[in-house]
Chain A
Amino acid sequence: MWVWTLVKWLLLGLLDALGILALVTLGFDSQWTLLGILGFGLILTNVVLVLPHAYPLRYILPGLIFFAAFVVYPMLYSVYLSLTNLSTGHLLSKAQVIDQLQGQLLRWEDSQTLTYWAYGDAQGEAILLLLKGSDEGWWLATLADRSLQAIDPADARLSDADGDGVFDQVDGLGRLQGGALAQQMGTFENTIFPYGEDVIRVSSLREFRTYKRQFHYDPQSDQVTQHYRFDEPTQRWMAVEPAKVLRADEGQGFFVAEDGVVLTPGWQVWVGWSNYLDTFRNPRIVAPFLGVFSWTVAFALLSVLLTFGLGLLLAMLLNDEGMRFRRYYRALLILPWAIPSFISIMVWRGLLNPLGPASSLLDSLFGISIPWFNDPFWAKAGIILLNLWLGFPYMMTITLGALQGISGELYEAAYVDGASRWKQFRTITFPLLLVAVGPLLVGSFAYNFNNFNVIFLFTGGGPPIPGAQTPAGSSDILISYTYQVAFNGGWGQQYGFAAAITIGIFLLVGVISAVNFKFTGALEEVSQD
């Protein structure tokens, strides 16, 4: 009906209007990446909704957009980060660092203040500043080209209409006051004007001040010259004679002097593969990293095997027709899965705490005290135990379902053939079970490979590795180690290195998934005969 067509076009028009509004706003903010992505998405949406040929695409378009935004983009950004040295001390771009260094101004003993008035156009934008020095000299500053010219108060360009001693108009521009001035301060508070040998800059809401420049950057030679330094014993600024020259080191992202002294802040630079190579080249990182890696694989394997084993055992028991109160046992055994794991992990942490009930019980019954959180072995044992408790209901449920899918006739045939219970299990139950449950086991392995919650909430990475020079603990798995590297403020944050490990984990899990597809393909053939 034509009503629906009208509604469709109206909604499309509304979407376009909102999209264009967002694009224009982004354009004003100079957010070009987001603008490009949003613009592309908008065009794609319009194409898909308008062209009749593209009808099938409508159903996957939203999924594709979210996939691009939440999976592809973070992945590409992580790859980009892993090739840089983004970390504490290297968060800025080189241009920002140079701006900062050039903005470091020193107040000298002979520093003077200048009163200033701002003049702007009809839209309230500041264009000119009139300054009056304490030596009664008058200056006119132009914001556009950062120039400062001396001006005579009697100059015709300055007009004081109401005769209150303050010039109301300069070059036809009105004076900015109060809220209008406060709004505009941001446009000129960073501007530095040359003033003889010194420079001037805004120092408060009402004044400019003369300063000396601590650093000077020369774009031609890509060097910074330091003119002043702070002397701690005398607590004074002193001139550096001869001026210290620091050249830009693009390998590290610092300005470095000949005597090796670096200037902070540094900037973010491309380091190529060095983040990846560090995992097996940097002696500080190799040993703990290998330990963490092997424990991750061991933890994931043990978790899957133990939970599957226990789940299978319980499923076979619950599958037995002769067992009474099956439904109640099943309900009770599902409980660990039903409670949010976040809460259960915290409860377990309290249980196994040296001051907690489990420890007092063990102490009073057997006289032993197990250092659950202070010994590397027991921390890992505790984690395996906890993961077993959390994971077996899932395995029990899927195994139960798979067991019920195996036809009873096979068992009858085997019984007639004289096969023992164990042989029946080995040749009928287990292979058919693996066909159904195999992919889920591999999925569980991949899940436990990245099981951040259990490690982080329970031991927090575990007892520290003595002598480790990277924030890896004894019970850390790759993903929790990555978290510590990226966000643990106590060790300095290294986003680039963490991104490299993340990409490594992604490749590993990707390979496992690829193996998964082959594995299930092979198992499929078993059930076909």
Chain B
Amino acid sequence: MRKLIVVVGALLLLGGIAGSAVQGVIDIWADDTRSPIWEELRQEVEAQFLVAVKVTDWGKPEPLDENFKSAAPSGEGPDILVTIHDRIGTLLASGLLEPLEISDELRAQFNPGALAAFSSAGKLYAIPYAQEAIVVYYNKDLVPTPPATFEELLAAGKALMDEGKAQYAISWSVNQFFFSFWTLSTNGGFVFENTPEGLNGCSMGLDSEGAIQGGQFLRSLVEQGLMPAEGIGYGEALSLFKEGKVPFHINGPWEAAGLRDAGMNFGAFHIPSINGAQPLPFLGVQGFSVSAFSDDKTTAKAILTDYFATLDVQKTFFLKNPRIPVFLPLLDDPDVKADEVVAVVGSAPGTPMPNIPEMGNVWGAMDNAFNLIASGQESADSALHNAVATIKAANNCP
């Protein structure tokens, strides 16, 4: 009898059970620098678009990408997510991003290079909002005026080393392709060949004559003792600069806030010319995309094109997490113009990172190549040829 009561009670609980409502909630995935900003803007978005908004903070972009790739096809993924233009190649190859349509007026308000970075085969896959290029930070206490050429830079560094004021002339995260690519591009090296059909994933210029010259230049810096003998990591290179042991340091605008907090008297300038040739570092663009498996694509797209791509919201993002804007009206804003690092980075020459899927296989092999070149274990010639062969094999090139 008692058991019957209990079972009936359980069945009664079934009444009024509704399936979970997944539609009508916009899920935004971002990293730790952008989630707090979306969290602050959440109520405005909810009021304007009449949907619930949920912001998920993933910390770093890597776990976000990882989880997106597995969650999205099964319908558990976000509606809006932060994307970095060179990573969208693998996302596009797996069909995970939704193309966005924007009006011509809106298109005109963005830096065309930034839009191109997020476009593939004629379709735009994200609303860009920040651009990054690496520049040379210099310690104003050690070097009063920035040098005009790379030769002057090395001479100034060497002079400081001879006086005992510095341990090395220059430091940067050598073993990362992103930070060392400029050595190869100075004399004409490039990643993929630009053809009428777009970037050719099987025609590479990382082992061209100019690229090999760049690799040899890099090795010569190590051999002359102007750079640490063993390729050091990102953290170590930055610490050397922060501790005042090295007058010049190549890094991106994201470190400026940390350097200011450390009380350093620093400035920035573009990577100067080497033998008259202008080095071209990578340009990176960041933006927000819509997932192809989103349940509310139209609303998500509307949030990006009608709300995110407006001056007020772009300025909010800039003030809370300063990055180089690509929204042209924002570049005219006096607050933005006053930031020195923004001015230098915003005008830095460079070449955008390729966003085709084949790019995914380039990073690992080229990181290794730079490691081998800097440590002297392999000559620039063979290291770069091997790396290109590896990449082509990984991309199933003939």
Contacts and interface: CB of A to CB of B under 8 A. Distances in A.
Given A91-B69, A233-B196, A265 B296 contact: no
Contacts of A5: 2
Interface stretch (B4-12, B151-159, B185-193): B4-12
B17 A371 contact: no
A20 B121 CA distance: 49
Contacts of A189: 296-298
Interface residues of A, number: 72
**Most chain B CB within a 10 A radius of its CB, from A202, A231, A232:** A232
A463 B372 CA distance: 8
A205 interface: yes
Contact of A182 (B20, B50, B363): B50
Given A182-B50, A182-B299, A371-B375, A100 B95 contact: yes
Contact of B24 (A182, A369, A487): A182
Nearest to A91: B94
A404 interface: no
Contact of A466 (B51, B65, B229, B383): B383
B229 A20 contact: no
Mostly, the B contact residues are: helix
B94 A92 contact: yes
Contacts of A184: 23
A374 B230 contact: yes
Nearest to B17: A24
Contacts of A12: 6
Contacts of A28: 18-20
A467 B93 contact: no
Nearest to B362: A490
A91 B96 contact: yes
A230 interface: yes
A264 B298 contact: no
B50 A467 contact: no
A461 to B, nearest CB: 10
B69 A493 contact: yes
B7 A24 contact: no
Contacts of A183: 21, 23-24, 51
B228 interface: yes
A13 B371 CA distance: 64
B377 interface: yes
Given A91-B96, A92-B94, A469-B393, A491 B361 contact: yes
Interface string B177-210: 0000000000000000001111000000000000
Given A24-B14, A88-B93, A353-B236, A489 B73 contact: no
A35 B196 CA distance: 52
Interface in B346-398: 357, 360-365, 367-368, 371-372, 375, 377-378, 382-383, 386, 389-390, 393-394
A426 interface: no
B95 A231 contact: no
Interface string A1-41: 00001100110111011001100110011000000000000
Contacts of B295: 186
A13 B7 contact: yes
B92 interface: yes
Q: What's the interface size class on B, roughly?
A: 35 or more
Nearest to A484: B364
B50 A178 contact: yes
A471 B101 contact: no
A487 B371 contact: no
B375 A374 contact: yes
B377 A20 contact: no
B87 A489 contact: yes
Interface in B64-113: 65-66, 69-70, 73, 87, 90, 92-96, 99, 101
Nearest to B230: A354
Contact of A96 (B50, B66, B73): B73
Nearest to A179: B50
Interface string A137-167: 0000000000000000000000000000000
Contacts of A203: 101
B292 interface: yes
Interface in A89-114: 89-93, 96-97, 100, 104, 107
Contacts of B365: 490-491
B230 A492 contact: no
Nearest to A359: B230
Given A186-B295, A374-B371, A355 B24 contact: no
B263 interface: no
Interface of B: 2-3, 6-7, 9-10, 13-14, 17-24, 49-51, 62, 65-66, 69-70, 73, 87, 90, 92-96, 99, 101, 121-123, 195-198, 228-232, 236, 240, 292, 295-299, 301-302, 357, 360-365, 367-368, 371-372, 375, 377-378, 382-383, 386, 389-390, 393-394
Given A182-B49, A354-B232, A374-B231, 5 more contacts: A16-B6, A107-B101, A189-B298, A355-B236, A492-B394
